[in-house]
Amino acid sequence: MGANKGGTTGPSSLMDVGLFVLTGDIEDGGVSMAKPTFYITTPIYYPSDRLHIGHAYTTVATDTLCRWKRLDGYDVFFLTGTDEHGQKMQRRAEKAGKSPQEFVDSIVVTIRDLWDVLKIQYDDFIRTTEDRHVARVKQIFEKIYKKGDIYKAEYEGWYCADCEAYFTETQHKDLDGRCPDHDRPLERLREESYFFKLSKYSQRLLEHIDKNPDFIQPESRRNEMVSFIKSGLDDLCVSRTTFSWGVPVDFDPKHVVYVWFDALTNYITALGYPDGDLYKKYWPADVHLMGKEIVRFHSIIWPIILMALDEPLPKKVYGHGWLILESGKMSKTKGNVVDPVHLVAKYGLDAVRYFLLREIPFGSDGVYSEEALVARINADLANDLGNLLNRTLTVFERSSGGLVPAPGRLGTQDEALKRQALALAGEVRGLVDRLEISNAVAATFKVVSAANKYIDEQAPWSLAKQGKTERLGTVLYVLAEVLRILATILQPFLIEGAGKMWSQLGLGDSIPGSAWADLDRWGVVRPGTQVKKGRPLFPRIDTKEALDGTPQAPAKVAATPVSPVAEEAPQVEEPTDISIEAFQQVDLRTAKIVAAEQVKGTQKLLRLVVDIGSEQREIVSGIADYYTPESLVGKTIIVIVNLKPAKIRGVESRGMLLAATRDERLVLLTSDNDIPPGSKIS
């Protein structure tokens, strides 16, 4: 199951409207302001087997929201855990030759280990086999029974033990008798059971949804649930007698509580419902966050349980999409799961977390492939962010001895980048509050792209060579400030890399909490700060070696022509000796890139419009893994202009770019001097 929260009013906005919450005593004439609370939960996971990358997706997203909210001034409580009862668990334990408790204990260890690997900062880990939970489930069940909303009858119908869900006769017929999630035959059950009066509360729940349109999100899930409720709710079977692994009903011990009724209550039992201090402080939850397949349980059964208890409902139930493979939904039943521990060991923690947060529009389904993971690492982390930091610090070292210079007067382009950077925190805050996590990451990387374009246009290396010291100092200072802001905002998303950025900027070993308050300030980096350029944060990954496990031969030439035809990175071959006459037949010239765009229908091809002095021409090149289109405009590059034209994806490509391999990256050969386009290279 799962829960999560998303408050939208931060401490600063509370102060703006004059709402002060006093806590503690007034001492020496001062008061302390309480932080706004933010209670967030993941689903509690079935410990029937090791968790896969889909489970990691939910938990990483929740952890990221928590990290943002903590930095943004909230008092956060993050709950996760395991749902350990039910017929499915008892059967798995019997098959393994263990008691149910021994079986779940062995799996829970691996789940805790996974959260450690992913550095999940939860505040509590609830297990439904714990005494604190079991005792309160019994109280909740008996309270609703005494109210008259639970009654005894006989159940006969269809059931899936894998998802612990009941199915009506109509559903059984529509599904051809098979569970849609597990593709297994549904079982026919007939047993004495207790039933919960869901039908009694259906109209009240519809009214709540109507008055609170954000209660179920995204909107597609809301519409689906409203339709389901309007079709008519049957009373819910909430006890079983055919197995014993569950919370016993105290007043009728041959019954155990239905696993979903048991598990859903974890969101309040972990807080000490009904009178615990944590419950009084944090309930109701701001958002319950989960995969879309369990939204029905959380947006219908769970709210009605709370209505029967006369307790407040959570503010939001959010069902995100699935992380699926090209072959279909990932599941332990199908055996097509991806192990996140393996991915972290291979690519690093930040890379895996970043991919999960950025690749999939939150709320929609997304396709996972290792190829997509590597492409995202190379394009965003290596080529954009890592390259921005690395080349900025390189210019610092070469032109100012590694010291941050004092800026001069800011020009139009400086001010534009400054405004964009200072506006970023507010933009990302709004996106995070709306749970648009992937958009929040994308917005941050727009500033990364803008900074890369800025450094290309300003060419600080040329300013250094030309002795334009004041202008150079201004450009470098602007870049230092933008990188400071990026490192601060990226903390919840790149939980290791952001701190390393901060350290390389010479701002300290770790990012202090006070840095968050400086996101809307300019001029925080002190002139004279010594930068500490280190190894590249995100080295480019050799795609073939990563995916095939085949080590690539090291490059044996200094410069590599970038093939306009192949979408893959060019293969470097053993050089052969040529005559001077043969070399003189190659017409090498400088060319300025005036426009660039992705070739439609491709991932790695870019169409460049280059000025070679006498004319402008188009060149198609497979460098999209290394450069974004916007980062190329304005560059002066080296081009072979007398290459035979080739028709590529409908574009006539007339020329070839030259590039060099460096630190497993492909880097275009460029001119640092004011050489006009069309100048001959000899």
Residue 444 lies in a domain: yes
Element (H, E) at 277: helix 277-282
- DSSP states of 31-59: EEEPPPEEEEEEEEEPTTS---HHHHHHH
Q: What pLDDT sits at residue 659? A: 82
Give the whole-angstrom CA distance, residue 232 versus residue 507.
61
Contact predicate 484/417, CB 8 Å: no
Q: Which two tokens stand for residue 238?
A: 């909430």
The angle that helices 340-347 and 349-359 make with each other, rounded to 10 degrees, is: 120
**Strands (E) located in 221-308:** 236-237, 239-240, 256-257, 287-291
Range in 115-124, 387-396, 470-479, 611-620 the model is least confident about:
611-620
Indicate if 8 and 40 belong to the same structural domain: yes
Amino acid letter, 60: V
The answer to whether 569 touches 625, Cβ cutoff 8 Å, is: yes
Q: Do 608 and 668 form a contact (C-beta atoms < 8 A)?
A: no
One domain for residues 391 and 496: yes
Please write the tens of the pLDDT for every residue from 77-92: 999 999 999 988 999 9
- Catalytic (active site) residue 85: no
298 is catalytic: no
pLDDT value of residue 662: 53
Among candidate residues 35, 69, 160, 298, the one labeled active-site is 160
More confident: 316 or 647: 316
Does residue 320 have an active-site annotation? no
What's the rounded Cα separation, in Å, for the pair 622 and 562?
7
Please determine, for residue 557, whether its predicted confidence score (pLDDT) is greater than 70: no
**Pairwise CA distance, residues 430 & 143, whole Å:** 41
* Distance (Å, whole) CA 603 – CA 378: 13
Question: Residue 20: its pLDDT value, please?
Answer: 27
Task: Kindly indicate the confidence band of residue 673, based on its pLDDT and cuts at 50, 70 and 90.
Answer: low
Task: Please identify, among 499, 518, 537, the residue that sits at the C-terminal boundary of a domain.
Answer: 518
Planar angle of CA 361, 366, 371, nearest 5 degrees = 115
237 in catalytic set: no
Concatenated DSSP letters of 566-585: -SSPPPP-------HHHHHT
Beta-bridge mates of residue 218: none
- Is the preceding peptide bond at 676 cis, omega within 30 degrees of 0? no
Residue 5: active-site member: no
CA distances from 247 to 49, 128, 140, 179, 236 (A): 22, 9, 12, 25, 17
Q: Give catalytic status of residue 604 as yes or no.
A: no
Better-predicted residue by pLDDT, 416 or 545: 416
pLDDT at 661: 60
State which amino acid sits at residue 576. Answer: T
Give the Å distances, CA to CA, from 416 to 422, 551, 634.
Answer: 10, 44, 18
Residue 190: how many CA atoms within 13 Å on its side-chain side? 0
| Residues 193, 240 contacting (CB under 8 angstroms) | yes
Q: Are residues 336 and 466 in the same domain?
A: no
Dihedral sign computed on CA atoms, order 423, 425, 428, 433: negative
| pLDDT: which is higher, 657 or 275 | 275
Active site (annotated) includes residue 332: yes
Residues contacting residue 28 through CB under 8 Å, at least 6 positions apart: none
- Give the integer Cα–Cα distance in Å for 393 and 412: 23
Name which of 41-50, 132-141, 417-426, 466-475 the model is least confident about: 41-50
Is the pLDDT at 446 greater than 60? The verdict is yes
Asked if residue 11 has pLDDT above 50, the reply is no
Q: Are 201 and 147 in contact (CB under 8 A)?
A: no
Per-residue pLDDT at 12: 34
20 three-class SS: coil
Which member of 35, 66, 133, 179 is catalytic? 179
Residues 334 and 423 in one domain: no
Does 66 qualify as catalytic in the annotation? no
Is the model's pLDDT at 529 over the cut of 90? yes
pLDDT at position 598? 83
**Residue 563 and residue 642 in one domain:** yes
Please provide the distance, in angstroms rounded to a whole number, between the alpha carbons at the two ends of the chain: 68
Residue-level pLDDT at 579: 60
- Domain end (from 338, 368, 398): 368
pLDDT of residue 233: 95
Predicted confidence at residue 583, as pLDDT, reads 64
How high is the pLDDT of residue 300?
98
Asked whether residue 514 falls in the same domain as residue 390, the answer is: yes
- For residue 406, give both structure tokens: 């004092």
> How many other C-beta atoms are found inside a 10 Å radius of the C-beta of residue 320?
27
Nearest-angstrom CA–CA distance, 332 and 553: 38
Mean of pLDDT over the chain: 85
Per-residue DSSP letters for 467-482?
T-HHHHHHHHHHHHHH
Catalytic residue among 5, 35, 55, 316: 55
Helices 497-504 and 387-400, axial angle in degrees (round to 10): 10
Residue 584: give its domain's CATH number.
2.40.50.140
Reference 639, options 680, 583, 581; nearest CA is 680
Residue pair 610/637 in contact by the 8 Å Cβ criterion: yes
Among residues 182, 315, 453, 500, the one annotated as catalytic is 182
Is 258 part of a structural domain of the chain? Answer: no
Evaluate whether residue 328 is within a structural domain: yes
- Mean pLDDT, residues 414-419: 98
Residue 367 has pLDDT above 70, yes or no: yes
Domain count, the chain: 3
Asked if residue 394 and residue 361 are part of one domain, the reply reads no
Kindly tell me if the per-residue pLDDT of 39 is higher than 90.
yes
Residues 479-491 have a mean pLDDT of 98
Flag whether 245 is in a domain.
no
Comparing 595 with 66, the larger pLDDT belongs to 66
CATH of the domain at 508: 1.10.730.10
Task: Write out the DSSP string of 601-630.
Answer: T-SS-EEEEEE-SS-EEEEEES-TTT--HH
Lowest-confidence region among 53-67, 534-548, 644-658: 644-658
**Is 536 inside any structural domain?**
no
Strand ranges in 86-138 using DSSP code E only, listed in sequence order: 124-127
d(CA 479, CA 422): 13
pLDDT above 80 for 3 = no
Range name among 16-25, 286-295, 439-448, 670-679 with the lowest pLDDT average: 16-25
The residue-averaged pLDDT of 580-586 equals 66
Q: Verify that 606 and 481 share a domain, yes or no.
A: no
Given the residues 163, 298, 315, 592, the one annotated as active site: 163
Spatial neighbors of 639 by CB under 8 A, at least 6 apart, are 588, 589, 590, 591, 610, 612, 619, 655, 656, 657, 658
CA 128 → CA 87, 131, 137, 562, distances in Å? Answer: 14, 8, 9, 58
Each as own residue / partner, the long-range contacts of residues 398-402 (CB below 8 Å, 24 or more positions apart, any chain) are 398/461, 398/464, 399/460, 399/461, 399/463, 399/464, 399/472, 399/476, 400/472, 400/473, 400/476, 402/506, 402/530, 402/531, 402/532, 402/533
Confidence (pLDDT) at 188: 78
Q: Quote the tokens at residue 291.
A: 């995969």
Please indicate, yes or no, if residue 411 is contained in any of the structural domains.
yes
Return the minimum-mean-pLDDT range out of 29-38, 193-202, 310-319, 530-539: 29-38
Q: What's residue 582's pLDDT?
A: 62
560 or 56, greater pLDDT: 56
Last residue of a domain, which of 368, 394, 429?
368
Torsional class of 402: left (φ above 0), alpha (ψ -120 to 50), beta (otherwise): left
337 and 415 co-located in one domain:
no
Whether 492 maps to a domain, the answer reads: yes
Give buried/exposed letters for 352-382 (b at 16+ CB in 10 A, else e): bbbbbbbbbbbbeebebeeeebbbbbbbbbb
Q: What is the pTM of this model?
A: 0.75
Strands 323-325 and 317-320: unpaired
Task: Render pLDDT for 202-237 as a digit per residue (tens, 0 to 9).
Answer: 999 999 999 999 999 999 999 999 999 999 999 999
Residue 11: domain span: 1-129+321-368
Q: Which of 52, 133, 292, 500 is catalytic?
A: 52
Please give the distance of CA 429 from its chain centroid, rounded to a whole number. Answer: 15
- By percentage, how much of the chain surpasses pLDDT 90? 63
- Report which secondary-structure segment, H or E, holds 462: helix 460-465
* CATH code assigned at 84: 3.40.50.620
The reply to whether 615 and 660 lie within a common domain is: yes
What are the Cα distances from residue 22, in Å, to 282, 416, 655?
17, 41, 70
Candidate list 98, 200, 281, 329, residue with the active-site label: 329
Same domain assignment for residues 389 and 332: no
Same domain for 575 and 456: no
pLDDT for the residue 599: 82
Residue 147 lies in a domain: no
Q: Which two tokens stand for residue 470?
A: 């004041």
Q: What is the pLDDT of residue 22?
A: 31
Residue 259's Cα: distance from chain center in Å? 30
Instruction: Please tell me the distance from the alpha carbon of residue 505 to that of residue 486, in angstroms, as a whole number.
Output: 12
Q: Is the confidence at residue 178, as pLDDT, over 60?
A: yes
